Every structure is written in C-alpha cells, then in structure tokens.
Amino acid sequence: MQAEPEILFDRKGAAGIVTLNRPAALNAITHNMVRLLAATLDAWKNDDAVTRIVIRANGRAFSAGGDLREVTEWGRAGRYADALVFWREEYLLNAAIKRYPKPYVALVDGIAMGGGVGVSVHGSHRVAGDRFQFAMPEVGIGFFPDIGATWFLPRFKGETGTYCALTGERLRAADGVAAGAATHRVRSERFPDLVEALCGDISVDATLAAFAEPAGEGEVIAKRPLIDRLFAGGSIEEILASLDGAAKAGGGDAEWAAKLAATVRSKSPTSLRIALEQVRRGKNWTFEECMRAEFRIVSRIIREPDFYEGVRAVIIDKDDSPRWKPAALSEVSPAMVEAHFAPLSEELPL
C-alpha cells in the first residue's frame, strides 16, 4: 500500500493550495516537505494564473514543529554537516515565505509550534481558527527559538515575545491576534467556505475582511501590563527575580507568577540565555541579520549536549526529566553565549 504524500499541492481557481498531510505525526515538518514546498512556491511565484497561496493542514494540528528525530540521529552520529543541510534549507524556506511576492495565507486551526510556525507566521496573512495555538517551546528541549523567531518575537506587542521565548507558553486565538502571531480571526466552521472564497478573484484582503470577526481578549494579553513589567529584565536572573517578587507579593497574580518562575527554571540554562539575547538583539536587526544569527546558533548548538538530552527527555523517552549541562544559570557565562552568535566561515546564503 502506497503511503500518503506528506504534503499536498493543488491548483484551484486563482489559488495554489498547500496541505500539510501528516496528521498522525501532528504534521511535523520533514526535510522532504521543506524541499517540496520550496520548489512549489518557486514555481507558483512565476505562474501568473496563481495570484495567492493558501496553506492549511489535515488533522487536529496545524504543525507541531520540525521532525527532529532524523536530525538528532545525525547529530548523535557526528554527522553535523548533514543535519545542518536541513536547517539551512528550512531557514531559506522561511525567508522565501517572508519575501513572497504574492499573498500567502496560512489557515491555522490547531497547534503551530517551531517549524509549523515557520511555514505560517512569515506569510502575509495568518488566520486563527477556534483551535489556534501558537508556541515556541524550544528552550524546553535544549534548543532555541529559531525559524525567524529572532525577528518576529521582538516585534510582538510589548514583552509578549520574551514571555513566549522563555516560557514556551501557548497563545490561543485572541492572544495570537493581539500579539501579532495572527492577522485575522475566523471561526473554524467557516474555514471550508473561506478556502473556496480565496480561490476566487476577489482580493485576499477583501475576502478575509468579509470572513473575519473581532478576536476578543485573551488571558495572556489581559496580563500584558504585568508581562511587560516582569519580562523586561536584561538577564534571566532579573526576570526570575521579578517573577519571584510578584509571587511573594500575593494577590490574584501570585500563583500565575510562581508557576511561570518554576517553568522558566525547568528549561535549559544555556538555551534561556541564548533566547533572551535573541529577542533583545533581534529588535534592532534586519530580518536577514536575524536569520543569519539563527544559522550561526544552530551550527553551534547541535554540537552541544542539551539539545539531544532535551529531545530524549521530551520527545523520545517522554520522562520530562532532562539533565542539563551546564545545569545552572551561573555556569553559563556571557562568553559562552556570545560564542553562539559569532560569524561562520560559511554563512546562511540569503
């Protein structure tokens, strides 16, 4: 029996339609999917009959991230160059989506994390359905927020991006629109009709305006003044001290702050330091500088133990008990962090 294709491409009316098709694997993005999507987008870019791209997913998830099993196997075997081919091509795909000359509409009705965010958030239009969930949980697997997060997280409202980077907490539909992860809110039951409408000749902006509704107020954005204050620190220690202070002060937000402090403390110390530097530096960088920095970071982090330990603990063994090395923030020096951002002999070819 022939296996279902991992990603489907269809032409309907004015639209090129992409469907992520690994529902059993929560549509995790494989290297093959990256290559096929990049090639198809390139072909449709030069096809005058295609005036917009629509990307959607089968199943309950939009995409739970990149498929890390293969690349971690390569890394454990010391095949770093092979692993880096995946990230190089994935990051170039992210850049191609960001620069795409036609409307690129991502219909996100389920979880979007990591690599799934990479094929949606850079699009010109991002539509949040009822089940929309956005998360960048990489610091919990000893990795770092990549796929352009150095660019888009600092551009979320206030310190929401810092909050996402350091905690891995999820933004649901209302929060996603308010933060900037999504541009429109449409009820899930209307997605089939929306796809049909997007295949017509009416402009994408007008079509989405006809379907969109007010996003409402989410739980995270309701706390934005507090998030902006607690996550404004220049170091992880300062942010933890602010969270601890809010927890000790009592009141309605004490339990929330204590839980977040515990969440941050459970993450890889090295990853936390790198992630904070990303959102602080990325605020003043161009998109290209951000993507180059991420390729520099991934080129170093795949040679370090935390990534493999995090994938083991969270994805493979699922014991959620990673043993980080170094184990404490105090053991991760500024020089160690800076080394991840240093130029490479072969930079990302943007």
pLDDT at 31 over 80: yes
Q: Total structural domains in the chain?
A: 1
Quick: pLDDT tens for 50-66: 999 999 999 999 999 99
89 is catalytic: no
67, 90, 109, 138: the catalytic one is: 138
What pLDDT, on a 0 to 100 scale, did the predictor assign at position 2? 62
115 is catalytic: yes
Q: What is the rounded distance in angstroms from the CA atom of residue 236 to the CA atom of residue 270? A: 11
CA angle at residue 124 from 118 to 129, to 5 degrees? 75
Range of the domain at 160: 1-350
104 three-class SS: strand
What pLDDT, on a 0 to 100 scale, did the predictor assign at position 177? 98
16, 65, 66, 310: the catalytic one is: 66
DSSP string, 192-215: HHHHHHHTSSS-HHHHHHHH----
310 is catalytic: no
Quick: pLDDT tens for 142-175: 999 999 999 999 999 999 999 999 999 999 999 9
Q: What is the rounded distance in angstroms from the CA atom of residue 249 to the CA atom of residue 125? A: 41
Confidence band for 300, pLDDT divided at 50, 70 and 90: very high
Strands 15-20 and 7-12: what pairing? antiparallel
The conformational region for residue 30 under phi > 0 = left, psi -120 to 50 = alpha, else beta, is: beta
What pLDDT, on a 0 to 100 scale, did the predictor assign at position 1? 54
E strand or H helix that includes residue 20: strand 15-20
67, 90, 109, 146: the catalytic one is: 146
What pLDDT, on a 0 to 100 scale, did the predictor assign at position 70? 80
**Which structure tokens are listed for 225?**
């003044």
Residue located via tokens 């690599």 = 115
65, 75, 114, 115: the catalytic one is: 115
118 is catalytic: no
Residue 68: which CATH number? 3.90.226.10
